[in-house]
Amino acid sequence: MQSSTSAPGRYYAARPVKRVRARHGGLPRRVLMFATIVPVGVSIFRDTSVPWMTRTLATALWVLCLIPAFNYLKQDPRVRRPIPFFPAICFLFGLYYTLPLVLGVTDNYYNAPVYPETDYDYPVQLAFLGWIAMVGAYLVTGFLTASRRRPRPVPWNPKLLTRVGFILMFGGIAITGLKSALFSASMLGGMLQFILSVQWLGTGILIILARRGELSHLARNWLRGGFVLTCGMLLAGGNIAPLAMYFAVSGFALWIAQPYFRPRWIAGTAAAALIAIAFRGIVIDYRRTLADTQIELSQRESLKLMVKLLGDRIQAQGAGGAIAHGFEMTAGRSAIMDLFANVARRTPDEIPYWNGETYKSLIGAAVPRVLWPDKPTKDLGQNFGHRYKYLHATNKSTAINLPQMVEFFVNFGGPGVVIGMLIIGFIYGALDNIVNRAGQPMLLSMIGAVILLPLLIIESDFSLVLGGLPLTGAAFYVIWWRLRSSLNASARTSSQPVAAYAQARMVGDRHRAIEAGNG
């Protein structure tokens, strides 16, 4: 059992709180300041047909969406929440609903035309009210459900956790590779997503151990190989979203282990984002090729096809052209405010309210398909696309995402947006106080990151994002209980129980554990 009880004490005893905050939050705060100032400057000097008041309100909302991140980074790292979950939610809200308008980018969503002179006024007002409702509910719930008891420490056993991490990581890889042989088509979606989540947990545990200097050189190489293999398998699926989530959970793991950025992380993140965006630009070509050939490809063949299509585009347009095309495709599918504006103009005059129809899929969401084989499949993306004529009547394969806030509107109008965002804020606040408390063990923080990560997909509908939360939460509680029992047992049987429990208290205490890997 490795011990590093002296490192945190030396680090914080020798450095005042202001210097600790400066090291851990300086670079991210500068990046956030840049993300705030540049769009505001663009909104001032770039002319668009969007009314001045509407664009000003969108700009104000963009700035408000960044305030939780500023507040998070300003806090002492020893007492703040280990996962920046709610700041990430607010940032994504601003990114999807306000930033395009702030930058003067309009009418960019696929097959959802918008009249910038009039269509954005009401949706921007609703987005502003919805954000206020969400933040208010989050803060109230956080205050009401906050526990004054300090989280119980859990022993930290690098050897045991290394074994667990590799079992979860490579076990997930093996099961994913054999998914067609192990699961029926009706069970594939939910089971595969849970297996991916468990695999992410294994990867996160290993990344934390590596960041703390507790992995051997050989284990680090196995981690690198497993990471690259997982990225390739996710990319072979022809969908960039799972790959982006895998990168996100890896970033959360790095932050949980030691919460500060290094400049090379920013460069690496930017490079990974550009690669993902370039691949995003050829997803439609990939799916069209599969449809034309009508041949089921293996994962290796699918990956080779993706790489070949990207290579063909780079050869035809150059690397810059391939990335630019990827940006165009990404922006077109991410312009949620354009979709909201189109829906708000046509509802309910042209298309009546759905009156809660979209939430019927929540019935039975907590029942596994293993126990209910005939549980209805979810086809909301198809229904929404055909109801608003974003899809051709003969298109039976494409799904159009129905974002949560837009879903509230198509069901119940403006009041539905405010009430729905209140509900979401309550859920966020309660979950943050359960799995994202200051001072909790790093293992629980990693499990919390895996649970909270799917909630960041705010461009999808309510039941898709939150419907599986009860089952996922219950399953990960069992995993947490089992791992905690094993770690406690290993500490009790250790030849040096005093040192083991001293390290357990250190690791379980966020006030002192940030620099534990330096000991």
- Residue 99 in tokens: 């930033």
Closest CA to 40 of 64, 8, 75: 64
- Centroid of chain to Cα 51: 33
Is residue 149 very low, low, confident or very high in pLDDT (cuts 50, 70, 90)? Answer: confident
Judged against a pLDDT cut of 80, whether residue 332 lies above it is answered with no
What mean pLDDT value characterizes the chain? 81
Q: Where are the domains of the chain?
A: 6-518
Q: Which residues contact 283 (CB under 8 A, 6 or more apart)?
A: 238, 239, 240, 329
Q: Given CA atoms 313, 336, 107, 399 in this order, what sign does their dihedral have?
A: positive
Transcribe 163-200 into DSSP letters.
HHHHHHHHHHHHHHHTHHHHS-HHHHHHHHHHHHHHHH
- The angle at the Cα of 148, spanning 142 to 153, to the nearest 5 degrees, equals 110
Closest CA to 170 of 242, 219, 235, 240: 219
Highest-pLDDT range among 6-15, 149-158, 365-374, 441-450? 441-450
- Residue 128 in tokens: 């502003």
Q: Which position has the token pair 């002192």?
A: 512
Q: Percentage of the chain surpassing pLDDT 70?
A: 83
- Residue 357 in tokens: 């129809």
Q: Which residues contact 348 (CB under 8 A, 6 or more apart)?
A: 413
Judged against a pLDDT cut of 70, whether residue 85 lies above it is answered with yes
Q: What b-and-e string marks burial along 179-195, b requiring 16 or more CB atoms within 10 Å of the CB?
A: eeeebeeebeebbbebb
Cα separation, 23 vs 105, whole angstroms: 36
Q: What is the pLDDT of residues 224-281, one digit of tens each?
A: 999 999 988 888 877 788 888 898 999 999 999 988 777 777 777 778 888 888 887 7
Query: What 3-state class would DSSP assign to 213?
Result: coil
- The widest CA-to-CA distance across the chain, in whole angstroms, is 74
Judged against a pLDDT cut of 60, whether residue 11 lies above it is answered with no
Cα separation, 176 vs 229, whole angstroms: 11
Closest CA to 21 of 65, 67, 93, 80: 80
Q: What is the pLDDT of residues 471-491, one digit of tens each?
A: 888 889 999 999 999 998 888
Is residue 119 very low, low, confident or very high in pLDDT (cuts 50, 70, 90)? Answer: very high
Is residue 147 very low, low, confident or very high in pLDDT (cuts 50, 70, 90)? Answer: confident
Do residues 198 and 172 lie in contact, with contact meaning Cβ atoms separated by under 8 Å? yes
Cα separation, 207 vs 211, whole angstroms: 6
Do residues 153 and 505 lie in contact, with contact meaning Cβ atoms separated by under 8 Å? yes
Q: What is the CA radius of gyration of the chain?
A: 24
- Give me the amino acid identity at 311: G
- Centroid of chain to Cα 256: 15
Lowest-confidence segment of 26-35, 64-73, 77-86, 134-143 by average pLDDT: 26-35
- Residue 377 in tokens: 């499949």
Q: Given CA atoms 296, 237, 207, 264 in this order, what sign does their dihedral have?
A: positive
Cα separation, 444 vs 154, whole angstroms: 9
